[in-house]
Amino acid sequence: MFAAENGLKGDPRLQAISDAIRVVPHFPKQGIMFQDITTLLLDHKAFKDTVDIFVDRYRDMDISVVAGVEARGFMFGPSIALAIGAKFVPLRKPKKLPGEVIAEAYELEYGSDCLEMHVGAVKQGERAIVIDDLVATGGTLSAAIRLLERVGAHVVECACVIGLREAKGQCRLNGKPLYILVEPREVDGCY
């Protein structure tokens, strides 16, 4: 669900967040309009508003785990975790986490990849959210949800700054709700 349709209709912060995101055409390959959040991170007010919107939503939901997907999920997740009093759990590409891990494979356009989480980071019964900068097909988030559910955590919601609208019907991943702040920008908006 989009923030604008879920309590934040007309909220000027959302427009500023959208405006702060840069579109880089044809990255990493022809035809992809890459949504670059690094420009959002340069806009202190818009970055703070992004975090605040998520914090306001999750603060009273009894969330004890914020899981962030490497690497851009690391840029948003810890600030949210600190503000709501949750722990931050990094979900990483293979062989980055040094301790014992559990792994979950997921499909890419060509081939597959793998997401890992430390054993013991999350306890059974904990309430978790998953954070990433953007959701496209939902493959990465689905793997993240499976990792958390395998250890008995309850994934309350997935949260992304950017998400595609044609995910309607797919605004739930594995049955989990998805909360998105803004839609991808068109190429006209790039600077």
Please identify which of the residues 5, 100, 109, 186 carries the catalytic annotation. 109
For residue 119, state whether it binds other proteins (rule: CB under 8 A). Answer: yes
Residues 2-18 as b/e (b if ≥16 CB within 10 A, e otherwise) read: bbbeeebeeeebbeebb
Distances (CA, A) of 24 to 83, 163, 173: 31, 16, 27
Among 7, 56, 71, 105, binds other proteins (CB under 8 A): 71
Please identify which of the residues 72, 92, 126, 185 carries the catalytic annotation. 72
CA-CA distance, 116 to 182, in Å (whole number)? 28
Name the DSSP class of 122: S
CA-CA distance, 151 to 103, in Å (whole number)? 11
> Which residue, 2 or 50, has its beta carbon nearer to other proteins?
50
For residue 51, state whether it binds other proteins (rule: CB under 8 A). Answer: yes
Q: By rule CB under 8 A, what count of residues binds other proteins?
A: 40
For residue 146, state whether it binds other proteins (rule: CB under 8 A). Answer: no
For residue 89, state whether it binds other proteins (rule: CB under 8 A). Answer: yes
For residue 28, state whether it binds other proteins (rule: CB under 8 A). Answer: yes
Tell me whether residue 149 is one of the annotated catalytic residues. Answer: no
> Which residue, 104 or 171, has its beta carbon nearer to other proteins?
104
For residue 60, state whether it binds other proteins (rule: CB under 8 A). Answer: no
Kindly state the helix (H) or strand (E) to which residue 134 belongs, with its residue range: strand 127-135
For residue 42, state whether it binds other proteins (rule: CB under 8 A). Answer: yes
Q: Give the CA angle between residues 48, 185, 183 to the nearest 5°.
A: 70
Q: Give the CA angle between residues 49, 3, 46 to the nearest 5°.
A: 20
Tell me whether residue 59 is one of the annotated catalytic residues. Answer: no
- Catalytic residue positions? 72, 109
* Binding footprint of other proteins on the chain (CB under 8 A): 22, 24, 27-28, 34, 36, 38, 41-44, 47-48, 51, 70-71, 74-76, 78-79, 81-82, 85-90, 92, 95-100, 118-121
